[in-house]
Amino acid sequence: MSGRIRLGMLTPSSNTVLEPVTSAMLSGLPDVSAHFGRFKVTEVAISEASDQQFDEEEFLRAAELLTHAKVDVIAWNGTSASWLGFERDEKLCDRIKTATGVNACTSVLAFLEIFRRKAVSRIGLVTPYLDTVQARIIANFKRAGITCLAERHSGLQDNFSFAEVPESDIAEMARAVAHEGCQAVAIVCTNMRGARIAVDLEAELGVPVYDSIATTLWKSLLLVGVPPDRVRGWGGLFEERAIASPRAADAWRAEAGPALPSGA
């Protein structure tokens, strides 16, 4: 693929972190830009009202508008499938591609792909969410063969408030789960300020620290044939030379087998 690459990102309306962080990550790639489409998300809870925010039709309306910018990929830059069920994102990717003709990915499916590629089966989970949401996430990862060996969460419901959790608090939660022996730390929320501190935490803790915004960008770049290692200074996820073409990615998925969602 030649010329400018445009990454489309579906964004929760009350998220204030992922847009500036994604743009900062791409600052060294003058040929790649990110473009954002919002839809209404104001809270995260185990409730009908919360679930309705993530209706597929809302995603598809926002995705259709992103195609007006002729984006090369559409990513759901949010983590709702972590508590609603990973199959939601698999279906969403298929529907976006069918409706728009554009390849799609999500933050949560990127986590699963990274864990499988890196043979990570025991994670430390860090989120800003409520007890009930955290329990659902842990259960869904367990069904996927990934054990949350340790977890910390902030107990918040209002989506805007997630961005107000200080980096120092996030770092302390990451340290706490890492010290319990996990293979990797997963910061699951695209409105949490984990991306900028990941590289320092990895050096300190000696384990990978995967942030949701970073996983979304990583997978988006793979799908458009841009080597993720062109992103510098944002942690180990970007430092290894990764598969850098859709054809190679398809071959890797075939080799990985049915455990890897086809929409990833």
Each domain of the chain, given as residue ranges in start order, spans: 5-107+213-232, 111-212
Torsion (CA) 35, 40, 128, 237 in degrees, nearest 10: -20
Question: How much is the pLDDT for 253?
Answer: 40
CATH architecture type of domain 111-212:
3-Layer(aba) Sandwich (3.40)
Vertex 203: Cα angle to 198 and 207 (nearest 5): 75
The Cα 35–Cα 11 span in angstroms is 10
Res 241: pLDDT: 56
Alpha-carbon gap, residue 173 to 171, rounded angstroms: 5
- Taking 50 as the pLDDT cut, the residues of the chain under it are 1, 242-264
52 touches 106 (CB < 8 A): no
CA gap 217, 73 in Å, rounded: 11
Cβ count within 10 A of residue 47: 11
**pLDDT at site 264:** 35
Class of domain 5-107+213-232: alpha beta
Cβ proximity of 39 and 66 under 8 Å = no
What is the Cβ-side half-sphere exposure of residue 79, based on CA atoms within 13 angstroms? Answer: 34
Residue 210 has a pLDDT of 98
C-beta of residue 216 within 8 angstroms of C-beta of residue 74? no
Count Cβ atoms below 10 Å from residue 35 Cβ, excluding itself.
17
Alpha-carbon gap, residue 257 to 261, rounded angstroms: 9
Confidence (pLDDT) at 125: 98
Instruction: Let me know if the fold of 5-107+213-232 is the same as that of 111-212.
Output: yes
- pTM value is 0.89
H-helix or E-strand containing 171? helix 167-178
Strands 184-187 and 122-127: parallel
